[in-house]
């Protein structure tokens, strides 16, 4: 997956490399959102850095899986409201660019050829909740929480709603976005939004263990598995079976004897 455009020119929003910390653990790349004083809220610089880093990991042959987590006590508080003062009708080009950037970030994870594991270390709200459940697998600290509080602020959980509906089902998803009430880790697990709930002290170890297993799998098989999974999730049954039939033919080329 090649690098994409920078949606904001640097003269308007300068990226800060310290907002995102990258560390490789063998074939696993850990991306840590690093704005703990802001609960890792997604300003434009961090959002762009995340998008670029995900695409870079996807293009790195040494990397087989990505782990996404947050620094400090929170995973991600969602959009950085401090930036919203510049997103006004008078600056429509900035409004459109920010919406496009946010959409591209949430679209990037299912489009990557490599799996992504989210390690939800604390509160994940709004766009942060969207990122938490966007991973192919998710591990959540037992004292973490997840929610979509937008309606309480008179706004809408707009871009993150599409993935939530696909993962939680209509009734649960509507409750989350309409009431704006957060859920604890056990409720998130019951709704199928995360795969594991573990003590906070073990969170990164558990996420890395997941990721290392994924990274150890056959790269061609994992790439095709992920692509087919996301296609099958969104297609009618007949079309999904057709894609499966074609994948079944292609996998003979890389299957071990």
The residues that are catalytic are: 150
Q: Are residues 151 and 162 in the same domain?
A: yes
Burial 106-136 (b: 16+ CB within 10 A, else e): bebbbebebbbbbbbbbbbbbbbbbbbbbbb
> 124: helix, coil or strand?
strand
Judge contact between 19 and 33, C-beta under 8 A. yes
Residue 3 within any structural domain of the chain: no
pLDDT of residue 85: 67
Q: Are residues 57 and 165 in the same domain?
A: yes
What pLDDT, in 10s, does the model give residues 184-218? 999 999 999 999 999 999 999 999 999 999 999 99
Q: Are residues 181 and 57 in the same domain?
A: yes
Q: Are residues 107 and 141 in the same domain?
A: yes
Q: Are residues 44 and 85 in the same domain?
A: yes
Ranges 33-37, 81-85, 202-206: which has the least confidence: 81-85
pLDDT of residue 133: 97
Q: Are residues 228 and 210 in the same domain?
A: no
Q: Are residues 193 and 245 in the same domain?
A: no
Euclidean distance between CA atoms 222 and 106, whole angstroms:
20
- Split into its structural domains, the chain has a count of 2
Instruction: Indicate if the pLDDT at residue 98 is higher than 90.
Output: no
What pLDDT, in 10s, does the model give residues 109-148? 999 999 999 999 999 999 999 999 999 999 999 999 999 9
Residue 5 within any structural domain of the chain: no
Q: Are residues 104 and 189 in the same domain?
A: yes
Instruction: Indicate if the pLDDT at residue 21 is higher than 90.
Output: yes
Residue 10 within any structural domain of the chain: no
Instruction: Indicate if the pLDDT at residue 164 is higher than 90.
Output: yes
Residue 182, domain extent: 17-216
Q: Are residues 208 and 127 in the same domain?
A: yes
Q: 139 — phi, psi (to 5°)?
A: -115, 135
The residues near 201 (Cβ < 8 Å, ≥ 6 apart) are none
Task: Read off the pLDDT band of 80 (50, 70, 90).
Answer: confident
> 70: helix, coil or strand?
strand
Residue 110 within any structural domain of the chain: yes
| Single pTM value for the model | 0.87
């Amino acid at each position: 997956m090649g690098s994409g455009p920078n949606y904001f020119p640097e003269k308007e929003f300068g990226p800060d490399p310290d907002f995102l910390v990258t560390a490789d653990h063998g074939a696993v790349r850990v991306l840590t959102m690093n704005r703990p004083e802001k609960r890792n809220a997604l300003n434009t610089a961090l959002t762009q850095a995340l998008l670029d880093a995900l695409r870079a990991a996807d293009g790195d042959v040494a990397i087989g899986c990505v782990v996404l987590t947050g620094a400090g006590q929170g995973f991600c508080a969602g959009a950085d409201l401090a930036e919203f003062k510049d997103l006004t009708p008078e600056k429509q080009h900035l409004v459109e660019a920010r919406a496009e950037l946010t959409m591209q970030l949430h679209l990037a994870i299912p489009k990557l050829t490599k799996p992504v594991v989210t390690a939800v270390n604390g509160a994940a709200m709004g766009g942060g909740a969207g990122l938490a459940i966007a991973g192919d697998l998710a591990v959540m600290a037992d004292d973490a929480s997840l929610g979509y509080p937008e309606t309480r602020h008179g706004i809408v959980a707009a871009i993150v709603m599409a993935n939530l509906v696909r993962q939680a089902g209509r009734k649960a998803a509507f409750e989350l976005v309409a009431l704006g009430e957060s859920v604890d880790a056990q409720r998130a697990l019951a709704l199928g939004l995360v795969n594991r709930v573990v003590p906070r002290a073990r969170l990164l170890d558990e996420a890395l263990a997941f990721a290392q297993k994924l990274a150890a799998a056959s790269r061609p098989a994992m790439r095709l598995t992920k692509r087919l999974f996301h296609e099958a999730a969104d297609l009618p049954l007949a079309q999904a079976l057709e894609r499966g039939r074609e994948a079944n033919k292609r996998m003979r080329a890389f299957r071990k004897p």
